[in-house]
Amino acid sequence: MSSKFFENPIIKWVEYRLPIFSFIDHSVGSGYPTPKNLNYWWNFGSLAGVVLAIMVATGIVLAMSYTAHVDYAFESVERIMRDVNYGWLLRYIHMNGGSMFFILVYIHMFRGMYFGSYKEPRELLWIIGVLILLAMMATAFMGYVLPWGQMSFWGATVITNLFSAIPLVGDAIVTWLWGGFSVDNPTLNRFFSLHYLMPFVIFALVFVHLWALHVHKSNNPVGVDIKGPQDTIPFHPYYTIKDAFGLGVFMLFFMFFVFFAPNFFGEPDNYIKANSLVTPPHIVPEWYFLPFYAILRAVPDIWFISAKLGGVIAMFASILVLMLLPWLDRSKVRSARFRPVYRQLFWVFVLDCFILGWVGANSPDAVFHGIPFLWIGQTGTAYYFAHILIIIPLISILEKPKTPPESISAAVTQAAE
């Protein structure tokens, strides 16, 4: 923001009492110095923020026409689709927005893994990110239950039953989660309450995430620290405009689904009202949970740990283990551009995540060209953990990285030559 702006008497009056304008300026304005070499992979954080705002806005109006009761929930969503003005639009934006949110956040996280953004001094920034992912998963899971279709009901049944794997207290915990003896009206009510709450928890986490970001500023494609003003440009107008352009492109993608393929990410079974006496033949979670669902089902009985408990542990561990990345990766070089071995194995890991997703979408007793999906899932799960717990630490010690450029500006001028 220009100094002229700060000389305005009203602005000055407010600033003296609450320095909110300089706070904004230092967060996303001309007063925030940003590495000058950020590429489009750095757009995804702000895009996720926009989607969060869209989810809250559409969610609040949907909640005005939604009824959280087993006898009316399904009908109230159908009424939103048919009778409420623009209800179909709001619901399709909210429904597809959930999928968009996960696409953006997964890309955002892979970006962090490729460019080593989790490394010192951004460990907490990364850990808060993983917490945001967990909070998003809880929010999306409970949101999916609200329309009270067959997948809502059976997804909720299968996932809440996971907790019964906990020794001794498991069954008591499940009864407590349900507020009864099966997924029923008390469950739907509390899920609505929590689904409304969680986005605001996510907001708070995002705030802390950005707070940590602004202490040491963004990482960048070459992964070397900002050495001085020659390495940066002001956030506004340079990155506000780049983010705005990215938003335009993303909205085309998002709105394509909203208007032309609104049920692309959904399951047709969820347009059948929940029936507690009939399980659909093939229960699948939303696509963004598929890799984790594959991990859940991959674990066999191991020694005294039942497959059920082992699967639950592996599934939660697959997310929590990400928090350890800053310490598992000993390489001082952040960006994969200068790490020839890591760079290739990174893509193998991405591929592994896709394979796990594909396995999660198939029934475990299904067979692919003579190979049981169960085996593919077990191999994929083993590789997932091996990549994080063994491969990353090993190559961070064994690999000989190339020498990164002296500084960001050196990298930029070199590239120009």
Partner 1 sequence: MSDTATPTATPDDKTRRDFLLLSTATVGAVGTALAVWPLVDSMNPAADTLALSTTEVDLEPIAEGQSITVVWQGKPVFVRHRTAAEIKAAEAVGLGDLVDPETDKDRVQKPKWLIMVGVCTHLGCIPLGQKANDPKGEFGGWFCPCHGSHYDTSGRIRKGPAPKNLPVPAYTYLTDTTIKIG
Please, which residue, 340 or 372, has the CB nearer to partner 1? Answer: 372
Query: Distance between CA atoms of 133 and 45, rounded to whole angstroms?
Result: 13
Choose among 197, 210, 190, 201: nearest CA to 132: 201
- The helix/strand/coil state of 162 is helix
Radius of gyration of the chain (CA): 24
Does 219 contact partner 1 by CB under 8 A?
no
306 binds, among ligand HEM, partner 1, none (CB under 5 to 8 A by kind): partner 1
Q: How far is residue 249's CA from residue 255's CA, in Å, rounded to a whole number?
A: 10
Residues 108 and 128: their CA atoms lie apart, in Å, by 13
Does 372 interact with partner 1 (rule: CB under 8 A)? no
- Please select the residue that binds partner 1; options are 22, 161, 379, 407, rule is CB under 8 A: 161
- Any catalytic annotation for residue 182? no
Mutual orientation of helices 170-178 and 150-161 as an angle, nearest 10°?
150
Per-residue CA distances from 152 to 9, 105, 117, 265 (Å): 55, 23, 36, 14
Concerning whether 269 is annotated as a catalytic residue, the answer is: no
| Gap between the Cα atoms of 282 and 265, Å rounded | 16
CA distance 236 to 207: 19
Q: Please say which residue, 65 or 240, places its beta carbon nearer to ligand HEM.
A: 65
Residue of 218, 318, 335, 396 with catalytic role? 218
Active site (annotated) includes residue 216: no
Residue nearest to ligand HEM (CB): 59
The distance of closest approach from Cβ of residue 298 to ligand HEM in the complex, given in angstroms and rounded to an integer, is 25
Nearest-angstrom CA–CA distance, 293 and 361: 8
Task: Report in angstroms how near the CB of residue 134 gets to partner 1 at its nearest.
Answer: 20
Minimum Å gap between C-beta 279 and partner 1 is 4
Annotated active-site residue in 214, 273, 308, 387: 214
Indicate if 123 belongs to the active site.
no
Q: Amino acid identity of 398? A: L
Residue of 235, 70, 239, 62 whose CA lies nearest to 149: 70
Residue of the chain from 14, 20, 53, 60 that contacts ligand HEM (CB under 6 A): 60
Task: Name every residue whose Cβ is closer than 8 Å to that of residue 400 and which is 6 or more positions away in sequence.
Answer: none
State the number of binding residues for ligand HEM (CB under 6 A): 25
Minimum Å distance from CB 1 to partner 1?
45
Residues in region 95-114 near ligand HEM by CB under 6 A: 95, 98, 101
- Write the binding mask 252 to 291 for partner 1: x where contact by CB under 8 A, - elsewhere: ------------------------xxxx-xxx--------
Residue in 403, 413, 417 with CA at minimum distance from that of residue 37:
413
In degrees, rounded to 5, the angle at the alpha carbon of residue 392 between the alpha carbons of residues 397 and 384 is 160
Beta strands in 219-377 (DSSP E): 232-234, 367-368, 371-372
**Quick check: 139 binds ligand HEM (CB under 6 A)?**
yes
- Does 379 interact with partner 1 (rule: CB under 8 A)? no
66 lies in the binding site for ligand HEM (CB under 6 A): yes
**Rule CB under 8 A: is residue 308 a binding residue for partner 1?**
yes
Tell which one of 1, 11, 56, 107 touches ligand HEM (CB under 6 A).
56
- Residues belonging to the active site: 214, 218, 242-243, 286
Residues that bind ligand HEM (CB under 6 A): 52, 55-56, 59-60, 62-63, 66, 77, 91, 94-95, 98, 101, 136, 139-140, 143-144, 146-147, 195-196, 199, 202
Residues that bind partner 1 (CB under 8 A): 154, 157-158, 160-162, 175-182, 184, 186, 190, 276-279, 281-283, 297, 306-308, 364-365
